Structure 1
Amino acid sequence: MTTIAPPPVTGTPTSTKRRTRRWIDDWRPEDEQFWATTGQPVARRNLLWSIFAEHLGFSVWLIWSVSSAYLVAMGFAFSPQQLFLLVAIPNLVGSLLRIPYTFAVGLFGGRNWTIVSAALLLVPTLGFAAAVTNEGTPYWVFCVIAATAGFGGGNFASSMANINYFYPTAKKGAALGLNAAGGNLGVALIQLLLPVVVGGAGIFGLVTASEGGIHLERAALLYAGLAVAATVAAWLWMDNLGTAVAKPREQLRVVKEPHTWIMSVLYIGTFGSFIGYSAAMPLLIKLNFWVPEPAPLGTGIYFAYYAFLGAGVGSVARPVGGWLADRYGGAKVTLAAFAGLAASTLAVLWTVFQLTPNPTADPAIATENESLFPLFLGFFLLVFACTGIGNGSTYKMIPAIWRRRAEAATPAGTPEHTGALAAAGKQASAALGVIGAVGAIGGFLIPLAFSAPWVADPLSATKGAFMVFAAYYVLCAAVTYGVYLRRGRTAAHV
């Protein structure tokens, strides 16, 4: 790919000592002529490689969502509660890393931090490969290695903040939606391919499972190699923007803004649901619709054939949500997404109430529950579709809220207006980091709610969890309408 030289510098760089040919100091995406002649090709190139790196980050982040279901088959005697915790830990760490990863773009440059963050994926992948090849690896070591998978979750924040700087406001929804969808698809792809790569399953008869048993380390080594490829690609073909400057103390002022926390509540409902359900879905299918006898595939619904569908639907729906938000407004689309989430979650809950508890390896129970699986899966895919649409629309709302405030505070066409818009863009990027971090915590809480060690019956824990989730979506819908759509609100119609 041809390297595009940076345009002439029109202002004072933030630090001339750090400048190389990969730094661009003149970046004016809102200038239509600049965007058409110079900005758009550069932005598209950076978006492409950002998607690739973020895709790998998500895959590594969710590698435990599928591999945990195979640990028992490899000889590790872990309980369902322990497996759900292994699934949840990376989500917690990934959410906490999102704030520092957001600021890293402005401190080190988007290209530079993509190089570092991609290389960091070698830690969880190589650690994973070492742990699963030793049957004596204690549970606490698995927990530590699962925590390092959170590096992949942090990638999302830095990638989104970086792309937010590259695109004009009118195109942010679609660009951020594509960037996020590329990452989200990493969840679906790891859930589809890991069972095949490790020898646990084929793909609907098109690819057959290997006969040599389960080898989880194969997936880890594959993604370690891909992490090296992403590191090299970022080095060769991405750019740093000199206009993306991070001042953490100033940017963290967004934590004092009510809209930061309101949007965090909404993002827990959209992205938190997406990542939480994606992580928990393989185990939910395995525990409720499958028993291990007769070997090797057992009786009932084999999770490996279906676990990837939810994440796939949610990922594809995300750019659709961004496009709809660009066209109709983020708040309207978000309200519709939460209405859909509440309705489809209640439908999933209805099917769960029809299930028979599956505490033993009784093929009769699996067969009885198997007849309800098409309804369970269909309603659950509607849930995922709504999370994806809501993810895209909420991310469109965040920069729009800050931009609207800047436009209202200064007269158009003045230097103050231009400065206010630039400041609003930086504040929005900081807000994206905070909101993304808080929202991702939902990915930690959802698997814990399904495991619920304080509830004796796992199926009862699942029912209670879906009840709470449905109520939360109703709350989010009410907040979206009351703050961003009701007449008279200053932040309305973003």
Structure 2
Amino acid sequence: MTTTAPAPTAETLATARRGTHWIDDWRPEDEEFWENGGKQVARRNLLWSIFAEHLGFSVWLIWSVSSAFLVAQGFEFSPQQLFVLVALPNLVGSLLRLPYTFAVPRFGGRNWTMVSAALLLIPTLLFAYVVQQPGTPYWVFCVIAATAGFGGGNFASSMANINFFFPAAKKGAALGLNAAGGNLGVSLIQLLLPVMVGGAGIFGLVKASEGGIDLQHAAYVYAGLAVVATVAAALWMDNLTSAVSKPREQLQVVKNKQTWVMAFLYIGTFGSFIGYSAAMPLLIKLNFWRQPVPGVEGIGINFVYYAFLGALVGSVTRPLGGWLADKYGGAKVTLAAFGGMVVGTLGILFTLSRLQTLPPAPTAERLAAIKADPASFEFPPAVRAAVESNSDVFPWFLAIFLVVFACTGIGNGSTYKMIPAIFRTEAERATTPNTAERTVAVHDATKRSSAAIGVIGAVGAIGGFLIPIAFSSPWVDDPLSATKGAFTVFTCFYVVCAAVTYGVYLRRTTSATSYATAGI
């Protein structure tokens, strides 16, 4: 005779563990299990996962805004060199996402969160040291900027871990919240770093420091938060025994063509979000702002007041994308997001066509003379006229760019809903309903989708490297021309992404493997 185990409670869940923080019995698809303790455990792990991932994103993008202050601190780097410093953390972060994903089933989600948070001490403390050494060569800056990629790897392990905690019907919202909390780290570092280092105030509420810029202050703050995240994960997160699998098993997802289709689409959504977020401070500074040295009153649009808005919009719309995907289907929402990105980038190209090319920055000798007597410096009439003309266009540039950011956020949320749905659909099609075989297949599908999240996240994040590199374009004479060429390429790419989304997941065919009828 078959007997039914009693429903667990929060108390019994706490005892069903191997060691102090291992949970052996985890059945989120069991509604009674979920309502009697499972939900509370999942939400607690989600909360601290969001905090650790948020911190990782902040460290990952610390160079996106600090690079705009390096010249003011006496480092003589060209715009192309600055864009490379912005891009390098994104490259390393994308490469680390795959091993970080595999680390979750190997070591446990809670354990790896502790390790990944502690690793953030390396880029923060190195950053704090090097920005206080004006004689540091450029290649050293490149190496240290690359270590900020540790923060980018956090996303993949965090998402893979949370994927195990929630039932299929709630994965879209849970993964959207987890990712949005992390993505907000980009916006907050871009808003708060200028204040922490004394580079600027917040809309007049806080004044810029009169003693100059101290970039190391921001690094020390985030190093301290890394310690907090490590301790919090140790105290309040859990490992799931059911999430354990071997790397060889996880790597099977690379043989599934849907992994690569989704990775391609994720370049368009998340790659755009992180790439635009990283490049936006420099884009605004190079095209709308002029201040040769501290002490000279700048003219135009100061990037510190606006650069954070793009990442903020993209972050808060990500859970909206997950919610819409839960309601209407991830593929439909993803297609709409790419449509919005096509329209948005065309709008940005129009605003760029209205800008005047700003004269190049003063030479090193001229900068030295201005620093010696900043009070006597006056902007040439041609520079002032060009900056004022571009400032009139800036509201349109910013508004349309924020629409693009909103579409990237929605697309991020919807694509991450699609990943577990695709693998679950494949499992259900290969098995009979209400059988033990189906139960095992669905559980294995969750493992494979978590592994796929790592692969897809790694490939998608490469867009965060390619976008700043496209803006740097050393073969183009001026930053404005490089920016126009980059957005032309991006628009064409989004058209291709929209076509792939429709052709693979929405176009109805007679094939038994068609995804159009699965509501993915």
- Range class of TM-score, shorter chain: over 0.9
**Contact 1:188/1:309 (CA < 8 Å) preserved in 2?**
yes
CA shift for structure 1 position 389? 0.1
CA shift for structure 1 position 457? 2.3
Cα distance in structure 1, aligned partners of 2:236 and 2:80? 44
**Contact 2:173/2:323 (CA < 8 Å) preserved in 1?**
yes
Cα distance in structure 2, aligned partners of 1:297 and 1:263? 48
Letter in 1 for 2:345: T
Alignment of 1:240-389 (within 5 A): 240-292=239-291, 295-360=295-360, 362-389=383-410
In structure 1, the partner of 2:7 is: none
Q: Give 3-state SS (helix, strand or coil) of 2:514's partner.
A: coil
1:475 lines up with 2:474 in the alignment: no
Alignment of 1:88-487 (within 5 A): 88-292=87-291, 295-360=295-360, 362-487=383-508
Structure 1 pair 128/340, CA: closer, same or farther in 2 (3 Å)? Answer: same
Q: Give 3-state SS (helix, strand or coil) of 1:6's partner.
A: helix
Letter in 2 for 1:470: T
Gaps of 5+ in 2: 1-9, 362-382
Cα distance in structure 2, aligned partners of 1:8 and 1:45? 17
In structure 2, the partner of 1:6 is: 13
CA shift for structure 1 position 363? 2.1
Letter in 2 for 1:241: L
CA shift for structure 1 position 468? 0.5
In structure 2, the partner of 1:36 is: 35
2:514 maps to which of 481, 490, 494: 490
Q: Percent identity?
A: 73
Cα distance in structure 1, aligned partners of 2:164 and 2:311? 27
CA shift for structure 1 position 359? 2.7
Structure 1 pair 360/111, CA: closer, same or farther in 2 (3 Å)? Answer: same
Cα distance in structure 2, aligned partners of 1:360 and 1:372? 20
Letter in 2 for 1:398: I
In structure 2, the partner of 1:16 is: none
Q: Give 3-state SS (helix, strand or coil) of 1:383's partner.
A: helix
Cα distance in structure 2, aligned partners of 1:477 and 1:246? 34
Letter in 1 for 2:117: A
**Contact 1:293/1:299 (CA < 8 Å) preserved in 2?**
no
Q: Bigger shift: 397-406 or 248-257?
A: 248-257
Q: Deviations over 1:302-352 (max 9, x none)?
A: 000000000000000000000000000000000000000000010001101
Cα distance in structure 2, aligned partners of 1:4 and 1:358? 65
Letter in 2 for 1:465: A
Cα distance in structure 2, aligned partners of 1:242 and 1:292? 56
CA RMSD in angstroms comes to 1.2
User: Structure 1 residue runs of 4+, over 2 Å off?
Assistant: 3-9, 293-297
Structure 1 pair 394/297, CA: closer, same or farther in 2 (3 Å)? Answer: farther
CA shift for structure 1 position 210? 1.4
**Contact 2:13/2:37 (CA < 8 Å) preserved in 1?**
no
**Contact 2:53/2:155 (CA < 8 Å) preserved in 1?**
yes
Cα distance in structure 1, aligned partners of 2:32 and 2:122? 44
Cα distance in structure 1, aligned partners of 2:491 and 2:63? 26
CA shift for structure 1 position 48? 0.2
Letter in 2 for 1:389: I
Q: Deviations over 1:33-64 (max 9, x none)?
A: 00000210000000000000000000000000
Which structure's CA Rg is the greater one?
A: 2
Q: Give 3-state SS (helix, strand or coil) of 1:77's partner.
A: coil
**Contact 1:115/1:234 (CA < 8 Å) preserved in 2?**
yes
Cα distance in structure 1, aligned partners of 2:452 and 2:128? 36
Q: Give 3-state SS (helix, strand or coil) of 2:474's partner.
A: coil
Q: Give 3-state SS (helix, strand or coil) of 1:243's partner.
A: helix
